[in-house]
């Protein structure tokens, strides 16, 4: 009977080896560790493999931004909210908050720490003297390439999906948890959305497989250990035998011409209609101008009020929206957001609480940092609605009284 007993150490070693893929390539030995991002065992497996193999290089599925995020506990405190608005990164910040919210919900529900295996890879690289390579593509580039593959409707749906994931209070199911064992957090947050838009699989997964493969293939040394989400291992195993142009994979997609054409055509049309109406009937033209001003200003102000904006931010939204709507290069949310940030400047405490506050609707609205973000986003949404409604009313008035 004893002969049939399985040695626990041998069983653990066999299980560990199931997650390891060994590749011989151009005189190098490349060892891919397919980790489960929400498994408590993955971090220990990473440590054991690196300690045993003593590689020249450890590559981890992180970019510089996410590396800083998991190694710098004060990452939120260091954020410059003014810089975020000026550089037009409010949407990127919203997505980062969605990922942070998703991670925190998962950590609390299942008592796990997403990214622990990446942290272990970083620590083990230091302990063994191996060179550390951040092998993943910049997350902002990935978001840009996802964003560039969407039309206006898709972008609106993506924002809705991201906001819903922030405010969702539902527990993560066991089925979703099983899927998470082979997905990275970014894939998990956008999983439902990529099902609705299959073409987004290319920038989210396929291109990242190519980027990761090239970074691992060209990593220095004769023995490289790569710590990766299990979902990326099959793609990397295939792509690592090919050369990939990293410059091409990191280029921002060219912006289509038609949004610019439409963006300028609408204000030119509105201005042209009002100018022509003035020559025909100044009273009707005055009515058209008031309609444009009130619809744009009122709805932008309403969005800012819903964001619990400062009174001067609300006034800024009301005054600026009718004019920013006539210039596609400007957005009213940038102005009202800067005013909001100036008069209700987020404190260090607000940034310290940010990761927890995004777990609830109440916390999201109470935190001064996220409230600035809401002022930008909701003010812009209000102004966009005002543009369509006000513009439609101007055109209606033109056909009714002039044409």
The Cα–Cα gap between 388 and 266 comes to: 9
CA dist., res. 93 & res. 88, Å (int): 10
The model's pTM: 0.69
Q: Which 3-state string (H, E, C) describes 117-163? A: HHHHHHHHHHHHCCEEEECCCCHHHHHHHHHHCCCHHHHHHHHHHHH
Got the DSSP string for 75-102?
TTTT--HHHHHHTT-HHHHHHHHHHHHH
Whether 334 contacts 345, CB under 8 Å: no
Residue pLDDT, tens place only, 149-161: 776 667 667 666 6
Which one is predicted more confidently, 294 or 171? 294
| Coil, helix or strand at residue 59 | strand
Overall average pLDDT of the 2-23 stretch: 58
User: According to the model, what pLDDT value does residue 243 have?
Assistant: 94
pLDDT digits (tens, 9 = 90+) for 243-267: 999 999 998 777 777 777 877 888 8
Q: What is the pLDDT of residue 98?
A: 64
Q: For residue range 52-64, what is the model confidence (pLDDT) as tens digits? A: 999 999 999 999 8
pLDDT over threshold 50, residue 309: yes
At 165 the pLDDT is 59
- The whole-angstrom separation of Cα 3 and Cα 313 is 77
Considering only 140-149, 274-283, 378-387, which range has the smallest mean pLDDT? 140-149
The most confident of 113-122, 189-198, 266-275, by mean pLDDT:
266-275
Least confident stretch, 123-127, 223-227, 343-347: 343-347
Tokens coding 100:
């942070």
| In the predicted structure, residue 72 carries a pLDDT above the cut 50 | yes
Q: Answer whether residue 269 shows pLDDT above 60.
A: yes
Q: Quick one: pLDDT at residue 219?
A: 96
What's the pLDDT score for residue 272?
93
Whether the predicted pLDDT of 8 surpasses 50: no
Q: Do 32 and 106 form a contact (C-beta atoms < 8 A)?
A: no
Q: Which ranges in 152-256 belong to alpha helices (H)?
A: 152-167, 174-180, 185-189, 191-196, 201, 207-217, 233-239, 246-250
Give the lowest-confidence range in 25-39, 122-136, 319-333: 25-39
């Amino acid at each position: 009977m004893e002969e049939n007993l399985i040695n626990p150490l041998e069983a653990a070693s066999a299980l560990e080896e199931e997650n390891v893929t060994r590749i011989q390539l151009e005189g190098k030995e490349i060892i891919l560790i397919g980790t489960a991002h929400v498994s408590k065992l993955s971090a220990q497996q990473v440590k054991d493999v690196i300690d045993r193999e003593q590689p020249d290089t450890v590559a981890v599925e992180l970019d510089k931004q996410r590396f800083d995020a998991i190694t710098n506990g004060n990452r939120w405190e260091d954020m410059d909210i003014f810089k975020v608005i000026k550089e037009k990164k409010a949407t990127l910040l919203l997505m980062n908050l969605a990922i942070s919210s998703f991670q925190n919900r998962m950590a609390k529900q299942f008592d796990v720490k997403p990214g622990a295996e990446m942290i272990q890879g970083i620590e083990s690289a230091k302990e063994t003297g191996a060179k550390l390579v951040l092998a993943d593509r910049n997350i902002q580039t990935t978001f840009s390439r996802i964003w560039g593959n969407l039309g206006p409707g898709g972008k609106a749906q993506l924002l809705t999906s991201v906001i819903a994931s922030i405010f969702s209070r539902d527990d993560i199911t066991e089925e979703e948890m099983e899927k998470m064992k082979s997905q990275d957090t970014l894939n998990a947050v956008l999983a439902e959305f990529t099902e609705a838009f299959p073409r987004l699989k290319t920038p989210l997964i396929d291109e990242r497989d190519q980027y990761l493969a090239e970074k691992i293939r060209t990593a220095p040394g004769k023995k490289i250990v790569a710590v990766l989400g299990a979902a990326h291992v099959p793609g990397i195993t295939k792509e690592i035998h090919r050369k990939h142009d990293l410059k091409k994979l990191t280029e921002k997609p060219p912006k289509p011409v038609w949004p610019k054409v439409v963006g300028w055509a609408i204000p030119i049309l509105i201005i042209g209609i009002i100018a022509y109406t003035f020559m025909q009937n100044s009273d009707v033209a005055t009515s058209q101008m008031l309609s444009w001003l009130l619809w744009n200003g009122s709805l932008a102000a309403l969005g800012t009020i819903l964001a619990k904006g400062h009174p001067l931010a609300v006034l800024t939204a009301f005054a600026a929206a009718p004019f920013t709507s006539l210039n596609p290069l400007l957005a009213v949310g940038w102005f009202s957001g800067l005013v909001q940030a100036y008069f209700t400047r987020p404190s260090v405490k607000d940034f310290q609480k940010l990761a927890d506050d995004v777990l609830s609707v109440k916390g999201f609205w109470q935190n001064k940092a996220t409230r600035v973000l809401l002022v930008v986003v909701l003010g812009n949404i209000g102004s966009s609605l005002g543009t369509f409604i006000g513009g439609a009313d101007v055109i209606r008035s033109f056909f009714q009284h002039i044409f």
